[in-house]
Amino acid sequence: MPNTIRVCLSFDFDAISIWVGPKQTRSPNLISRGEFGGRVGAERILKLLAAENIQSTWFIPGHTIDTFPEICQDIADAGHEIGYHGYCHEGPSSKRALEEEKAILLRAIECIERISGTRPVGHRLPGGNLGERWTRLLIEHGFIYDSSMAPNDFAPTWHRLGDNPRTDGPYEFGEPVDLVILPFDWNMDDAPYFSYEPGSGRPGLRSPAEVLEIWKDEFDYLYQRLGKGVYVLTMHPQTTGKGSRMLMLERLIHYIKQHENVEFCSLRDAAEEFRTTHHGRQSLR
């Protein structure tokens, strides 16, 4: 019987980029959290993935590649997929000219190519929204999937262009385009549960045991009730790299491995499989 559940572990390797970029801080305390991710957290995760023989996906900003080249090279050399996540964690912005947007995209692609030898095909928004202009840029530059939203929490879907958010009548859905959406959902992300930021109002610091229960229940629902689909987790080395959360991730991996017909794979593999089985069923612009 073929594997029917794809489990995709994904890591947003923001390191210091998120602090000095969008959060615009120069606080050594906050920057040291990114440094922990870059020097310690990523290495722990990489070791665990090697021990468990798991292929995963890392969304790495160019800034992280330039700041921590050795560990990023280790990630690439271990065969993990590397996807786009901005140069310094910039989200798309309508305030920038098209050429400026393109320059960020190309600079980050060049960093990924330098360490992996290939252009990225996967994308996760570092912030902002996947507007039409940015979506077209992704398609033009050879991206095959985005993992920034979840119209279906356990299944890939096609992205669309031309939605019309009417309020005087029903919402009008646009036409599907050749860009796969792989689920990203905040309840499957480590940051809202764990990341504590003083003064932000975000409590964080939840018990890893509690989060393990939530993530196991999400897996059980997919496995027992749906029987088929993709299970995508998003983690950050500076957050999940802490001891208690590393043990949580190890326990979750062992729990999932007890099930039959389940395969760990990269998001790229899940997207390619969806494209192979679903192309031709509908016309894509």
Cα–Cα distance for residue pair 242/252, rounded to 1 Å? 15
Burial per residue of 263-279, b for 16 or more beta-carbon CB atoms within 10 angstroms, e otherwise: ebbbbbbbbbebbeeee
Give least dist CB 18 to Zn ion, A: 6
Query: Where in 100-129 is the site for Zn ion (CB under 5 A)?
Result: 126
Query: Where in 124-163 is the site for Zn ion (CB under 5 A)?
Result: 126
Give least dist CB 124 to Zn ion, A: 7
Cα–Cα distance for residue pair 172/169, rounded to 1 Å? 9
Give least dist CB 89 to Zn ion, A: 6
Query: Which helix or strand (DSSP H or E) is residue 5 part of?
Result: strand 5-12
* Closer by beta carbon to Zn ion, 36 or else 158: 36
* Closer by beta carbon to Zn ion, 101 or else 222: 101
Cα–Cα distance for residue pair 267/8, rounded to 1 Å? 6
* Closer by beta carbon to Zn ion, 134 or else 223: 134
* Closer by beta carbon to Zn ion, 191 or else 270: 191
12 binds Zn ion (CB under 5 A): yes
Give least dist CB 12 to Zn ion, A: 4
Binding segment toward Zn ion, per CB under 5 A, in 13-21, 72-80, 92-100, 168-176: 13-21
Backbone angles phi, psi at 176, to 5 degrees: -65, 145
Backbone angles phi, psi at 46, to 5 degrees: -60, -40
Give least dist CB 245 to Zn ion, A: 17
Cα–Cα distance for residue pair 119/117, rounded to 1 Å? 7
* Closer by beta carbon to Zn ion, 21 or else 229: 21
Which has the closest alpha carbon to 3: 226, 263, 281, 280? Answer: 263
* Closer by beta carbon to Zn ion, 8 or else 256: 8
Cα–Cα distance for residue pair 102/107, rounded to 1 Å? 8
Among 6, 7, 13, 14, binds Zn ion (CB under 5 A): 14
Give least dist CB 60 to Zn ion, A: 10
Question: How many residues touch Zn ion (CB under 5 A)?
Answer: 3
How many other CB atoms are there within 10 angstroms of residue 244's CB atom? 11
Binding segment toward Zn ion, per CB under 5 A, in 11-19, 156-164, 169-177, 270-278: 11-19
Binding site for Zn ion (CB under 5 A): 12, 14, 126
